[in-house]
Amino acid sequence: MHEKNAAIQLTEYFLAALLVGSLFLAGRHVYQSLPANGPGQVPVNEAAANSELTIVWRDGLTDGETRVELYPIDFAALDRDFRVNGRPGKTIDDYLGQRLKNLTPVRVPVNQNGRAVAHLSEGNWWMRAVSTSSNGEAMEWRIPVVISQRAHTIELSKDNAYERAKKF
């Protein structure tokens, strides 16, 4: 039988502990260097909200309940992340809903003329607008928005709606 020298055995234990410790510290360093927000999320700086986004409804679409929500998220980056990390059976809408759950939207009031004005910081945003008319027709718009100038205007109509539904 071949027995190991006590000094060699002690050195092996020390090197094994050193390897495990260095792996732990490397993983901790990688985890701490990740951005605080998830992929595609844009940090919101309300003090830097120097751009104005005007949303205009055409065709009298605001005769019922209308709401607008703007989320600070880069939809293109989120879409890329979904294509790389998506799960079978999960749609982009499910993935988007999961990501939006942790974000606080900027809610914009709509006036009686069908106009809404939001003050946003520069960057990538995602807009979701819903309008329900008095006759039961509901429309939804989902639009990625890039804020890069002081003034932007988005026109919403039946033609560019993401989804139209009617309750009977």
**Tens of pLDDT, residues 102-123:** 788 888 888 888 888 998 888 8
Give yes or no: residues 22 and 56 share one domain. no
Give yes or no: residues 71 and 152 share one domain. yes
Is 39 inside a domain boundary? Answer: no
pLDDT tens digit sequence for 42-98: 445 455 578 899 999 887 666 678 888 898 888 888 888 888 887 788 888 888 888
| pTM to 2 decimal places | 0.63
Give yes or no: residues 120 and 78 share one domain. yes
Q: What is the DSSP string of 111-148?
A: -TTSEEEEEE-SEEEEEEEEEE-TTSEEEEEEEEEEE-
Chain CA centroid to CA 15, Å: 44
| Number of domains making up the chain | 2
As a dihedral over the C-alpha atoms of residue 118, residue 98, residue 44, residue 57, rounded to 10 degrees, the angle is -10
- The residue range of the domain holding 3 is 1-34
Q: Is 30 strand, coil or helix?
A: helix
Give yes or no: residues 12 and 58 share one domain. no
Give yes or no: residues 85 and 23 share one domain. no
Give yes or no: residues 123 and 80 share one domain. yes
Give yes or no: residues 90 and 22 share one domain. no
Give yes or no: residues 23 and 94 share one domain. no
Contact (CB, 8 A) for 68 and 107: yes
Give yes or no: residues 108 and 63 share one domain. yes
Is 40 inside a domain boundary? Answer: no
